[in-house]
Structure 1
Amino acid sequence: MKKWMLTLAAFVLIMVMTGCRETGYSMDRADVKAHIMPDGDLYVEELFTYSFQGSFKGTTRYVAADHNDIEFFEAYAPPKGKKLGKFSYENLERLKTEWDKDNDTYYTYNAAKDEVKQVYYRYRIHQAAVKYSDIGKLDWSFFKKNEQDIANVTVDVYLPSSYNPANVHAFLHDRTGGKLTTGGESAAHYENPELSQYGDAEIRIFFPQEQMPLMVESDDQASYQKLLASEQKYQERIDARDAFMQKADGPIQALIVISLFGSVMYSLSWRKIKAWLSRREVTEEELQQLDPLLKSYIWRKGKLKQKDFVAGLISLKRRGLVTVKEVSASKRFLEEPTAPDMTLQFTYHGTLEQLNEADRHLIQWLFSKRNNTWVFQLDSVAGPTFKEKEHPERLTYYRQAAKKHEERFKEWKKIISDIEPYSREVRVNKLSGWLVPLMVILHYGLLLYLFYADAASRLEVILVAVIVGIFGAVACLKHRSKLWIILYFVACFAAGTQLAYEKVADNYLILALCSMLFAVLVPRHVLSATMLRYRYALKAWKKKVKKGDDFWTGSETDVERNAENAVLIGMIPEYMKNMNTKRQEGATAYAAAAPILFSVNFLSSLQYTQSNLNFTPPSSSTGSGSSYSASGGSGGGGGTGAF
């Protein structure tokens, strides 16, 4: 391994280790006591225990309620060694708190550095409970938007007065875990050794409406039996979740194996290995005899780029259909210091009827007719110079020209793919035509099943069905584009992160990544055995050029062959660097041997033209914004944690 790589790796490792040691915090315990008041308000007391590594300014707390409904929020330094409920706030040190409206979070200033610290919160939520004609109800998300997991969580909810346990029903809405019980000293008791950062931890309690004598009855009508039945039905889904999710785990693991096997088969197929092993059997003469456009076509595996129109021109010249001469560049380039002063002019003297469809389209697209002769000057398709970019009207012209060039190129590319020998040597992979829809349908159905089995809400299921479905539909319609199938699996992965059943969710995320890999590796086009060997031979030649060794022997044939390959596979800068090196070494015959088509001037002009072929006017974008900024470690972006 190179020394610079070792140095970089060591630097990254040091930075990571330093970063890991520098700052961090954990929420080791959270005890909560919530009292439903006779007027429906909810009075809450909380005792948090934090462990800090590094320096922090304080802690943060997100309360799941409208700020206008929070009557007060206070924070105190609690007495050491006392549990929640065993002390009063009256004699405690009150800490400074601020509410940030941008992220609906309370910031408590209580500096800490490398220590274990506790913070006591108390707040009151106006009419958090609802009183109906035959029942009282509390929906309370006591922990939401946590910045990290919270360990050892206990929550007790108390009613205003004594009650009959048979008349109180409590349900937990949190698919990440936790246990809820009733019938004790408190109306509902919640425990969770590790409350997930992504859990909502919502408790719904139904109790006699007589518990809130000071609260006005809601105008909304609600049936106790219907509410209770709905919650019991949801609880049944939670109870059945393990069985349903486990049923999907086996097929998911099987699909992971299939995806990985398919990826390996496409990456290391015997057909590819055989072609790679026999690449040295392809002689330089065989590569030279291959038509330039076909050479570019197999190099791109059937996906030509706009700059590859040059391969069509070289093909015409090779077949003797056009003549080439070196001419002075257009005036606008002569005034541009970075632009070449010379370019090439291609001339076609025949009639269009004698050309095949692809050649005819290329002539009509690029050439202009002058006195019964078709002429094309290479720099005519280049974008604006720096001087021209100063004039808005010229920018509009070049934008339209670039758009027109792209449209004509797409037409030419389509013609090429449909005619011989291109359609024979580089075939469309028919497998992708049915494989993409199959993968889309499979993942779509699997995702919907997982969300239903995971007891997700109806809204979550609908959102997944709509959003993922849109990406899937487009991926099927554009199955020849790998971009859309990749975006589809990105959407599947993003949806999979919302699953709460961690083991199966993690396996599904692995499946989404493996399926994406498989989709990427499935080729859009398949090369014939001969062309595959040629392509590997070209790749071997490319490596030689990168190393500065293109095996120049001084003959005109070598110069033309190597320069042509450099043009067709995009290695002009590297090739010209080698050419200059050979000149400095005394190979004066090198430049003299170069035919006009591959002279230094031509290569420079070609490189400039291809680099400035597509033009999109620069656009300026501005953005501004501010957010609550807090330093000291992690957090500070809103939610329950520290800053």
Structure 2
Amino acid sequence: MKPLCLVCVKDFEVNGAMKKLLIVFFACFLLLFPAKKGLAVEFSITDAKIDAYLQKNGDVAVKETFTYDFDSKFRGITREIVPKKGASIKDFAAFEKGKPLKVEKEGDVYKIYRSGKKEKITVELRYRITGGMEKYEDGVQFYWPFFDERNESDYLRMTIAVHPPEAADQVLALGYDEAYGKEDIRDDGTVVFRLGEVPAGENGDIRVIYEPELFPGMGMKAGTIREKVLKEKEHFAEKAKKYAETRDALRKAGNGLIPAMLVFFAVLFPAAFLSSRRKKRLVEEHLERLQFHVPEEKLSIPATIYFTSGYIFKPETAAAALYDLLRKGYVKQETEDRFVLVNGRTEHPHERKLIRFLFEQVGNGKEFSLKELKKFTNNRKNLEIYQSKMMEWKRKIAEEVKQAGLYETKAGLRWGVAAVGVLLGISAVFFGIYELYVPFIGTLLGSAAALLFAIFYHPKSDKGLEILLEWQRLRERLRHLTKDQWDLLSDGEKQRLIAYGIGVDNAPFKKAFNAFLEAEKRSFPEGTGFIYNPAYTVAIFTAADSRAGAFSGGASGSSGGGVGGGGGGSGAF
């Protein structure tokens, strides 16, 4: 009779595919964020060969040969053998070139001592399994997990051979998970599972059935085993057929989806870019026709600085905000250091926040000085208050910008692109499950691109572009402005430009701005006029921010995945 070969999968291929998909994600993560070298032994298991010799009395004599390639110092290797329920491991021993090695057992882990440094070694392990086989009326079964998901080491090449006590011709061989489809039944009944590379954390049970006459020393259980296995084969064969059909359908779908996705993005991105560019060009052409002027106050000065400076708050912003309170008449300056509150009813909420903090918390309710602010923030107990109040002030400025209509919502377009991103993401999941990695990567990247576009695409409105470009244009033109042109500006324009200039931290602009600011100061009679000192004010807020920043900166075991709860793995120490 010719040998009969049967192969099935324990949880079928979809579960294995999911594990492989997770491995792909994990591998990408490790490439981006490689683990730091620690005290762990560095090694690889280049070859693993397991020979299981079935005995007539039901015992199994096992010989395992592992080849380790070490890249560091080591003290030995480990082998975890967790017997399945009802079985046990006996007479474990280790050898190197026939020489016995010291072995210590800790639970189900055997530690084999063989120290060295940066070398390749081959160790032979021998042990006996009792209670690992079952005899039925129509066959004897050896169903065993030589490794399972607890294994923490990759096997670069693994082979498992099961040898009957004598020649056999009624052989069933089943491989699960990593052993699926890897069996080879030889003429004498020996079954060889050539697993090849086995990643860490995988299962790979093997199952072999021989005729019962080969094992006269075993007691027989009532019932049969072969028909059960044949039904299992049919079940998994049907699943395998459906899996293959679905995979083929997905592959064909991917062949059409990827080009369609590329065309979609080839239209979407250029269209969005060209639309923004065209709008920007129209605003620039309008501004080019205008003479030099200081833009009108379409936002408050602190909000304008925040919007036109990349949404960054700096100490200069606070200094500009304080000067802006002077410009609007809410505050009066008596000396370079001291300020008096005139009117607390301001136009914008962030102005009220700043006044209440500086005058009510730092000052006495009616006036405050920069020296008092310095003294306030020198006290560690006040630093949390400073941070909180300044954060509230910044939040109100950001709210003004957000509510000013400076961006287009493009809700319809963004929701549509988001829907495409979700569909591509769902497609990527299915491609990954069915191990179609080219369309998986393509649709995954496409999904990420679509969702990022939907989240972050909100182009500036005409108002937003005009504010941004006219203040940027002022920064450029101020460097070429003459003294006569400066003198032609109205007092309101000068004050507005001074408030903005104090808050902008841009070296070329600052150089020109400071020159005009000094000229403006000299235009007042001595002892009158302009006494606000931007550099001194910026220095006070810089020191306060620095102190606040420094203050805040200081400020069960699982069951096995193999048959019968058994399994194990390999390692080193």
**What band does the TM-score fall into relative to the shorter chain?**
0.5 to 0.7
Partner of 2:341: 347
**Does the CA-based 8 Å contact 1:358-1:416 persist in structure 2?**
no
Partner of 1:604: 539
Letter in 1 for 2:276: R
2:210 is the alignment partner of 1:191: no
**Does the CA-based 8 Å contact 1:33-1:157 persist in structure 2?**
yes
2:99 is the alignment partner of 1:93: yes
1:190 Cα shift? 1.8
1: CA distance between counterparts of 2:537 and 2:254?
A: 61
Letter in 1 for 2:178: D
1:202 Cα shift? 0.8
Partner of 1:633: none
Identify if the C-alpha distance between structure 1 residues 180 and 427 changes in structure 2 by more than 3 Å, giving closer, same or farther: same
2:408 is the alignment partner of 1:427: yes
**Does the CA-based 8 Å contact 2:101-2:112 persist in structure 1?**
no
Instruction: Tell me which moved more, 507-516 or 533-542.
Output: 533-542
2:95 is the alignment partner of 1:76: yes
Partner of 2:176: 172
1:160 Cα shift? 5.6
Identify if the C-alpha distance between structure 1 residues 370 and 60 changes in structure 2 by more than 3 Å, giving closer, same or farther: closer
Identify if the C-alpha distance between structure 1 residues 142 and 370 changes in structure 2 by more than 3 Å, giving closer, same or farther: closer
Identify if the C-alpha distance between structure 1 residues 433 and 514 changes in structure 2 by more than 3 Å, giving closer, same or farther: closer
Of 433, 438, 441 in structure 1, the residue corresponding to residue 419 of structure 2 is 438
Letter in 1 for 2:407: V
1:209 Cα shift? 9.8
2: CA distance between counterparts of 1:589 and 1:25?
A: 73
**Does the CA-based 8 Å contact 1:304-1:413 persist in structure 2?**
no
1:349 Cα shift? 1.7
Partner of 1:505: 437
1:173 Cα shift? 1.0
Identify if the C-alpha distance between structure 1 residues 399 and 603 changes in structure 2 by more than 3 Å, giving closer, same or farther: closer
Of 303, 321, 325 in structure 2, the residue corresponding to residue 317 of structure 1 is 325
1: CA distance between counterparts of 2:392 and 2:51?
A: 68
1:601 Cα shift? 0.5
1: CA distance between counterparts of 2:207 and 2:369?
A: 81
Letter in 1 for 2:123: V
2: CA distance between counterparts of 1:409 and 1:141?
A: 63
Partner of 1:203: 205
Identify if the C-alpha distance between structure 1 residues 273 and 432 changes in structure 2 by more than 3 Å, giving closer, same or farther: closer
**Does the CA-based 8 Å contact 2:153-2:571 persist in structure 1?**
yes
Could you list the runs of 5+ residues in structure 1 that have no partner in the other structure?
A: 1-18, 79-91, 329-341, 455-500, 621-637
Residue aligned with 1:426, SS: coil
2: CA distance between counterparts of 1:366 and 1:29?
A: 73
1: CA distance between counterparts of 2:376 and 2:57?
A: 74
Letter in 1 for 2:125: Y
2: CA distance between counterparts of 1:165 and 1:61?
A: 37
Residue aligned with 1:427, SS: coil
Deviations 1:409-448 (A, max 9, x none): 5466446533xxx12x333452586257525632553354
1: CA distance between counterparts of 2:410 and 2:319?
A: 24
**Does the CA-based 8 Å contact 2:142-2:208 persist in structure 1?**
yes
**Does the CA-based 8 Å contact 2:501-2:510 persist in structure 1?**
no
1:99 Cα shift? 6.9
Partner of 1:295: 304
Of 364, 387, 402 in structure 2, the residue corresponding to residue 417 of structure 1 is 402
Instruction: Tell me which moved more, 137-146 or 271-280.
Output: 271-280
Deviations 1:312-356 (A, max 9, x none): 93695386242353768xxxxxxxxxxxxx5x747342646xx36
Identify if the C-alpha distance between structure 1 residues 435 and 105 changes in structure 2 by more than 3 Å, giving closer, same or farther: farther
Identify if the C-alpha distance between structure 1 residues 639 and 40 changes in structure 2 by more than 3 Å, giving closer, same or farther: same
Identify if the C-alpha distance between structure 1 residues 358 and 58 changes in structure 2 by more than 3 Å, giving closer, same or farther: closer
Identify if the C-alpha distance between structure 1 residues 441 and 109 changes in structure 2 by more than 3 Å, giving closer, same or farther: same
Superposed, 1:555-566 pairs within 5 Å as none
Question: For the pair shown, which has the larger CA radius of gyration, 1 or 2?
Answer: 2
1: CA distance between counterparts of 2:201 and 2:249?
A: 20
1:124 Cα shift? 4.8
Residue aligned with 1:607, SS: helix
Of 160, 163, 186 in structure 2, the residue corresponding to residue 155 of structure 1 is 160
Scaled by the length of structure 1, the TM-score of the pair is 0.56
1: CA distance between counterparts of 2:444 and 2:61?
A: 45
**Does the CA-based 8 Å contact 1:158-1:187 persist in structure 2?**
yes
Superposed, 1:586-597 pairs within 5 Å as 596-597=531-532
Aligned residues, how many?
495
1:602 Cα shift? 1.0
2:460 is the alignment partner of 1:527: yes
**Does the CA-based 8 Å contact 1:41-1:127 persist in structure 2?**
yes
Identify if the C-alpha distance between structure 1 residues 537 and 200 changes in structure 2 by more than 3 Å, giving closer, same or farther: farther
Indicate the percent of aligned positions where both proteins have the same amino acid: 15
2: CA distance between counterparts of 1:297 and 1:42?
A: 77
Superposed, 1:41-56 pairs within 5 Å as 43-49=61-67
**Does the CA-based 8 Å contact 1:32-1:154 persist in structure 2?**
yes
Identify if the C-alpha distance between structure 1 residues 222 and 359 changes in structure 2 by more than 3 Å, giving closer, same or farther: farther
Partner of 2:8: none
1: CA distance between counterparts of 2:465 and 2:278?
A: 10
1:150 Cα shift? 0.9
Partner of 2:561: none
2: CA distance between counterparts of 1:374 and 1:246?
A: 75
Identify if the C-alpha distance between structure 1 residues 356 and 577 changes in structure 2 by more than 3 Å, giving closer, same or farther: closer
RMSD of Structure 2 on Structure 1 (CA): 6.0
Identify if the C-alpha distance between structure 1 residues 190 and 222 changes in structure 2 by more than 3 Å, giving closer, same or farther: closer
1:250 Cα shift? 2.8
Partner of 2:124: 120
Identify if the C-alpha distance between structure 1 residues 93 and 383 changes in structure 2 by more than 3 Å, giving closer, same or farther: farther
1: CA distance between counterparts of 2:459 and 2:166?
A: 77
2:33 is the alignment partner of 1:33: no
Partner of 1:111: 116
Residue aligned with 1:527, SS: coil
**Does the CA-based 8 Å contact 2:421-2:450 persist in structure 1?**
no
2: CA distance between counterparts of 1:269 and 1:138?
A: 66
1:170 Cα shift? 0.4
1: CA distance between counterparts of 2:177 and 2:419?
A: 35
1:139 Cα shift? 4.4
Higher relative contact order (CA 8 A, sep 6+): 2
2: CA distance between counterparts of 1:58 and 1:372?
A: 73
Partner of 2:28: none
1:611 Cα shift? 4.6
Identify if the C-alpha distance between structure 1 residues 46 and 373 changes in structure 2 by more than 3 Å, giving closer, same or farther: closer
Letter in 2 for 1:155: I
Deviations 1:562-583 (A, max 9, x none): 87557646x38x689979xx99
Identify if the C-alpha distance between structure 1 residues 236 and 518 changes in structure 2 by more than 3 Å, giving closer, same or farther: closer
Letter in 2 for 1:179: K
Residue aligned with 2:408, SS: strand
